[in-house]
Amino acid sequence: MAEEDKSRGQTISLAQAATFLNRSPSWVQALVSQGYITRQSYGRYSAVAIVRGALAYYEDLLQNSNRAAAASRATDARTREIELRIAERRRDLIPMEDAKAEIAAVVSEVRAEIAGLGARITRDMELRRRIDGEADGILGRLAERAAEAGRALAAEGGAVEAEPEA
């Protein structure tokens, strides 16, 4: 019988197990009822079983926490996808390709209108060169602004700051 006690390890009471784990006796009893800790005899528990049971309990908690966090991330991603689809249907959001195509169409029309401005206004070559020079300046500034906006949009959809009006 002495050999049998040695193989089981030291046995301790419920109160001692609670003190050892820095928990209440009812918490230890709950681990016993949940199957994490096995009872050696009435009111007696193996110290090894106490440690193993507490470890198993905390490992299960950690595993369940990781599962819950992964499920939460998946739910958040699905929610975001649904919000984007709703925004697209309401026309609050349009595909980037469509926006670029519309902007390109408007810009090419503006460029065509401004390019022939000097010839439409005057036959005087000196004045025509001045008008065309101003028109080229306008188109150059617009091209710079469009390039800046394109870079900002390419950088994760960043907003383009408005320039102060003159």
Global pTM?
Answer: 0.39
Length of the chain: 166
159: in domain = no
In terms of domains, do 6 and 50 share one?
Answer: yes
Q: DSSP state, 35?
A: T
Q: Determine the pLDDT at residue 156.
A: 56
Last residue in a domain, options 79, 106, 139: 79
Average pLDDT per consecutive 10 residues, the chain (166 residues; last block may be shorter): 54 88 89 88 87 89 83 88 82 74 83 82 89 88 83 63 55
- Could you tell me how far CA 120 lies from the centroid of its own chain? 55
Residues 101 and 63 in one domain: no
| Same domain, residue pair 117 and 71 | no
Residues near 158 by beta carbon (within 8 Å), at least 6 away in sequence: 152
DSSP state, residue 94: -
Distance CA 4, CA 114 (A): 101
Domain count, the chain: 2
The reply to whether 106 and 45 lie within a common domain is no
Residue 57, domain extent: 2-79
Concatenated DSSP letters of 106-166: HHHHHHHHHHTHHHHH-S-HHHHHHHHHHHHHHHHHHHHHHHHHHHHHHTTTPPPPPPPP-
Last residue of a domain, one of 79, 106, 136: 79
At residue 165, the pLDDT reads 57
45: three-class secondary structure by DSSP: strand
| Residue 162: other Cβ atoms inside 10 A | 6
The residue among 22, 85, 21 whose CA lies nearest residue 49 is 21
Last residue of a domain, one of 31, 54, 79: 79
Percentage helix, strand, coil for the chain under 3-state DSSP, each rounded to 5: 75, 5, 20
Domain assignment of residue 84, yes or no: no
Q: Indicate whether 49 belongs to any domain.
A: yes
- 74 and 143 together in one domain: no
